[in-house]
């Protein structure tokens, strides 16, 4: 990270930090942590995003941090360099800017074009991008304020599903580093308060649509604009005893959004999503958590058929 700081200082640039569209806790925390880290070296930065931020994140998490995030249409200076967190430039879940991209920090190791050249790139096979940003503070001995430590702990904790999903030794080291520096009460409130009363109507419809195919909970919902809610609902169905994996199908006007979770080593979520999207759509992620998109109208029965065939092949070790 120090080479990036030196380059910014040498060129007298103010950095833009961009999250993936519809940023979750890990994306926001990583962006905030990076902003605080750079400020230690006297470098200024702003955080921008596209899409919506969930109500529970905006009115709880962001307000407690006193953090301002700017929508992409507020970016007027097209010469400012951009660093991307929790995804990478030119991927399906990020709206690209006209600005120059200097690099990215991410934990989605199979979701970027290795042929593109960046001045800074940090991609690690771990549970959360927040863990990567936390390591910058610990390795460089940069002071970490309580607010930033809390944000990174929340990002790490939520993206690893309470330290059990995709968690690595590096994530555990990061959490050990963050724990004595964070506000435990604020973290607890951020992790617990994820839903509103209005969200429960989506849950009712989702439960009514539930179909279990070969250990996979397949849930079909309509018109959920909050992608983070889709992920929260996916984790809910994954808690069923009869289920080891989950696929959320969200039908919207522009197409179908897919969110997949897996607790079964034989069911690779990223591979499954790619089989569903094929050449028509886009998708990717981790073996335990992935997402995808199919544009236009799609026959749900066709998705079920592809899903059953892919699951059967995976279970046989194909």
Report which DSSP code applies to 66. T
Question: Which residues have CB under 8 Å from 316's CB, separation 6+?
Answer: none
How many whole angstroms separate alpha carbon 283 and alpha carbon 272?
A: 9
Q: Quote the tokens at residue 140.
A: 């460089």
How many whole angstroms separate alpha carbon 253 and alpha carbon 110?
A: 29
Q: Beta strands 216-222 and 245-251: pairing type? A: parallel
pLDDT at 318: 58
Q: What is the pLDDT of residues 215-231, one digit of tens each?
A: 889 999 998 877 778 88
Its CATH class, for the domain covering 2-192, is alpha beta
Nearest CA among 282, 263, 259, 271 for reference residue 314 = 271
Q: What is the pLDDT of residues 241-286, one digit of tens each?
A: 999 999 999 998 888 888 889 988 888 888 888 888 888 888 777 8
Its CATH class, for the domain covering 199-315, is alpha beta
pLDDT at 114: 75
One pLDDT digit (tens) per residue for the chain, 318 residues: 777 888 888 888 899 999 998 898 999 999 999 999 999 999 999 999 998 887 777 777 787 787 889 999 898 899 999 999 999 998 778 899 999 999 999 998 777 777 788 989 999 999 999 999 999 999 999 999 999 999 999 999 989 988 988 899 999 999 999 999 999 988 887 787 777 888 899 999 999 999 998 888 999 999 887 777 888 888 889 889 999 999 999 998 888 888 889 988 888 888 888 888 888 888 777 888 888 888 888 888 888 888 888 877 777 775
3-state helix, strand, coil split of the chain in percent (to 5) is 45, 20, 35
Could you tell me the residue ranges of all domains in the chain?
Answer: 2-192, 199-315
* pTM exceeding the 0.85 threshold for the entire prediction: no
Q: Do domains 2-192 and 199-315 have the same CATH topology?
A: no
Give the sheet arrangement for strand 245-251, strand by strand: 211-213, 216-222, 245-251, 255-262, 289-295, 282-285
């Amino acid at each position: 990270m120090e080479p990036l700081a030196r380059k910014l200082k040498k060129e007298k640039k103010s950095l833009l930090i961009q999250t993936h569209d519809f940023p979750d806790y890990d994306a926001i925390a990583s962006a905030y942590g990076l902003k605080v880290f750079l400020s230690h070296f006297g470098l200024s930065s702003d955080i921008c995003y596209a899409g919506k931020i969930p109500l529970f994140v905006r009115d709880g998490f962001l307000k407690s941090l006193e953090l301002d995030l700017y929508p992409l249409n507020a970016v007027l200076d097209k010469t400012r360099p951009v660093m991307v967190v929790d995804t990478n430039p030119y991927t399906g879940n990020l709206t690209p800017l006209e600005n120059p991209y200097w690099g990215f920090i991410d934990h989605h190791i199979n979701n970027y074009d290795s042929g593109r050249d960046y001045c800074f790139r940090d991609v690690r096979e771990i549970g959360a991008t927040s863990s990567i940003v936390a390591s910058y503070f610990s390795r460089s001995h940069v002071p970490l304020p309580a607010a930033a430590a809390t944000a990174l702990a929340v990002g790490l904790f939520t993206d690893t599903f309470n330290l059990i999903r995709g968690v690595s030794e590096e994530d555990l080291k990061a959490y050990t580093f963050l724990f004595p520096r964070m506000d435990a009460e604020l973290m607890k409130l951020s992790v617990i308060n994820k839903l509103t009363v209005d969200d429960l109507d989506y849950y009712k419809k989702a439960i009514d649509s539930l179909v279990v195919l070969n250990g996979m909970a397949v849930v079909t919902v309509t018109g959920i604009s909050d992608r983070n809610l889709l992920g929260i609902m996916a984790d809910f169905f994954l808690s069923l005893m009869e289920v080891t994996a989950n696929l959320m199908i969200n039908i919207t006007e522009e197409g179908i959004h897919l969110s997949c979770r897996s607790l079964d080593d034989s069911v690779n979520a990223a591979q499954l999503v790619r089989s569903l999207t094929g050449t028509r759509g886009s998708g990717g992620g981790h073996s335990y958590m992935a997402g995808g998109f199919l544009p236009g109208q799609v026959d749900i029965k066709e998705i079920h058929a592809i899903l059953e065939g892919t699951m059967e092949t995976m279970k046989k070790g194909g």
